[in-house]
A and B are shown apart, each in its own frame.
Chain A
Amino acid sequence: MIDMILLISLALFMVAITLHLIRIIKGPTMPDRAIALDTIGVNLISSMAILSILLKTTAFLEAILILGILAFIGTIAFSKYIERGVIIDRKSDH
């Protein structure tokens, strides 16, 4: 029973990631694409946690942490590029 629920939720996560891919390709503006990429990261983290419940292992927990950190840094770099056009400043402007 619980395995069936977990498998159905994994399938629904894959459907959600596919819908976000459509948003990334079509997306009218760049902030739409940035938010879609961040949400794909969250969906990947959630499906990885469900997979580690399903396989009864704790080997994926470090991978979940690393994926969360990298999605965070990627979203920050993306939004800073959209907002200012440069990612790493040379010197502080105040």
Chain B
Amino acid sequence: MRINDVILRTVVKVVIFIILTLGVYLFFSGHNAPGGGFIGGLVLASGIILLYVTYDIDTIQKKMPFDFKKVAALGVLIATGTGLGAIYLDVPFLSQTDGHFQFPFIGDKHLTTVTLFEAGVALTVIGTLVTMILSISEDE
């Protein structure tokens, strides 16, 4: 029996952009406001899980050919890499720094190295959460 779920697919095609935009916004508002790598990663992973629920595993794997276990491993590698970089610069492990930089057109920006660490945390959360949900919901 063919199942007609055109309403769900049409709604999700619009809503997925809102969810992914909110995830990226929460990721970048991390060090001054509520948000950060963990919560941004959770929102991004829930958007990916919404895609898996709406479509199916084969379609999403064809369009998004990542092995999510390797995504989690890459995240842990980035997060510990920032800590080891601090040791290389002769300061304690996981020390972070920040600074104000002048750019030609966009003006003064506040850049931190915490953002790199948070990127590792976000990738770890996305990989772990999608792997867990896909292993739980496997039917055979």
User: Which A residues have a C-beta under 8 Å from some C-beta of B?
Assistant: 59, 62-63, 65-66, 69-70, 72-73, 76-77, 80, 83-84, 86-94
Check A69 against B139 for contact (C-beta < 8 Å): no
Interface of B, secondary structure class, is: helix
Q: Does B108 contact A (CB under 8 A)?
A: no
Number of interface residues of B (CB under 8 A): 28
Check A87 against B26 for contact (C-beta < 8 Å): no
Interface of A, secondary structure class, is: helix
A16 to chain B, nearest CB (A): 26
Bitwise interface map of B from 19 to 46 toward A, beta carbon under 8 Å scored 1, else 0: 1001000100000001100010001001
User: Which B residues have a C-beta under 8 Å from some C-beta of A?
Assistant: 2-3, 8, 15, 19, 22, 26, 34-35, 39, 43, 46, 49-50, 52-59, 133-134, 137-140
Check B22 against A88 for contact (C-beta < 8 Å): no
Check B35 against A93 for contact (C-beta < 8 Å): no
Check B139 against A76 for contact (C-beta < 8 Å): no
Check A89 against B46 for contact (C-beta < 8 Å): no
